[in-house]
Chains A and B, each alone.
Chain A
């Protein structure tokens, strides 16, 4: 039995990973980034591995990124989205997944609207699972690619000041990011309207600042989260209006100019231009938004490659 490369069989959340694991993923992502620059952007490592992408919740970028990562490792890929599935006919999650596994699938990538869905699944099936987002809980590959992108830009994460702005309460990206950045030695601050900052946030060891300009003056990196417009439609309104939000917490060129230093601007996408970030900043020199997307494929290749080593051939 081979000694496992990562200390975990699944990637359910950043909390499963040690600092050494994250380092290993970053080192392999470096090598896969080189692969992606080649004329032939594909390696044959996973040619006998089949991966199922189970998306019980909508996604464009994450699903494409995972699928490209799998194809560039030469894995066979099957895609599944809830809208066209027998979930609509009342099948349970475990039954759906077991049916797919009966067709000899070796690995599962899953996005689900319920927090903890990936953990639940890992207790019932035997193959490695990668969590591609479970409700408001975790989105570990996004956190890894964000941290990787900062490391690429600044050389290391140690003692770097990272600001996360927006709806922290409903963001799986924020939660995974905080955990990952802190593990790698970065300092984290969150900023947003008090209705969007959870009460427990201090227990995570992060700083909180409600004044966006003060927070900007503190940070080296600003990660602007998407304002989830769908949450504005319900009975509970988290902020008065989009215009109001933009005035208070929108990242604009004037704001960046005022702090008089270089700040790396990130966004996990999809962007609401003119709400959390202005077009000028999103497309500006400090923005690494498209680098994040590019790095996403390399980081996901690294995660899949490392987890696949734990699958024994029959």
Chain B
């Protein structure tokens, strides 16, 4: 039996996403030179939720967005315990001089973000890249990477895992859980 704790339930998750969108607006409005990029695979759901919410806040503004897959840039290729399957990369514009906001659900060691940034740089030289994450797992960084916008910061013990669940055909509601990692 794995112990679960709900970090954010559906209602609270909605509030957090709304706050993140207001923070984005504060920093980038009117989004003219800004590109929002979701990190494959799990950052895409958060990106979609953010885009939907931003459309509510600014119904007349077009927000350029895309996704990037860090797989081919990872530093754990052939290191042993993980299968590295590729996902789609779709960058709609050349990134020279753009403000890019990289979006992911959980920030842990920072290695995936590092790979994502390297992949992004193949599409031009952005003016700057900021990082937005839904969950920031503190004290676990292996690279000097810190997010600018954070949904919620979490302290955790070894063996605990943050799981972000999005509403879908399989899942009744969106929520963020902290659970014991399954060692079996």
Contact = CB atoms under 8 A, between A and B. Distances in A.
Interface of A: 1-3, 5, 27-28, 30-32, 34-35, 38-40, 43-46, 48-49, 305, 308-309, 311-313
Given A2-B83, A28-B86, A312 B73 contact: no
B77 A309 contact: yes
B73 A31 contact: no
Given A2-B80, A309-B78, A312-B80, A44 B85 contact: no
A240 to B, nearest CB: 51
B79 interface: yes
Given A40-B122, A45-B72, A45-B77, A3 B83 contact: yes
A5 B123 contact: no
A308 B69 CA distance: 19
Nearest to A3: B83
A43 B78 contact: no
In terms of DSSP, what is the predominant structure of the interface of chain B? loop
A43 B123 contact: no
A49 B77 CA distance: 11
Contact of A311 (B78, B86, B87, B123): B78
Interface string B81-97: 11111111110000000
Contacts of A30: 88
A1 B80 CA distance: 5
Contacts of A49: 78
Contacts, number: 58
A48 B123 CA distance: 24
Contacts of B123: 38-39
A73 to B, nearest CB: 8
A49 B73 CA distance: 14
Interface residues of B, number: 23
15 contacts: A5-B85, A27-B86, A31-B69, A31-B86, A31-B87, A31-B89, A35-B89, A38-B122, A43-B72, A45-B72, A45-B73, A48-B78, A305-B72, A305-B86, A313-B78
A311 B77 CA distance: 10
B88 A31 contact: yes
A22 to B, nearest CB: 15
A112 B160 CA distance: 53
Given A5-B85, A27-B86, A40-B122, A35 B72 contact: yes
Given A31-B88, A40-B122, A312 B72 contact: no
A34 B72 contact: no
Contact of A39 (B74, B77, B118, B122): B122
Contacts of A27: 86
Contacts of A45: 71-74, 77
Contacts of B79: 313
A62 B1 CA distance: 54
B85 to A, nearest CB: 7
Contact of A34 (B81, B88, B118, B124): B88
Nearest to B72: A43
A281 to B, nearest CB: 34
A37 B84 CA distance: 22
Interface string B45-86: 000000000000000000000000101111001111111111
A290 B82 CA distance: 36
A200 to B, nearest CB: 38
A313 B89 CA distance: 28
A90 to B, nearest CB: 37
Nearest to A35: B72
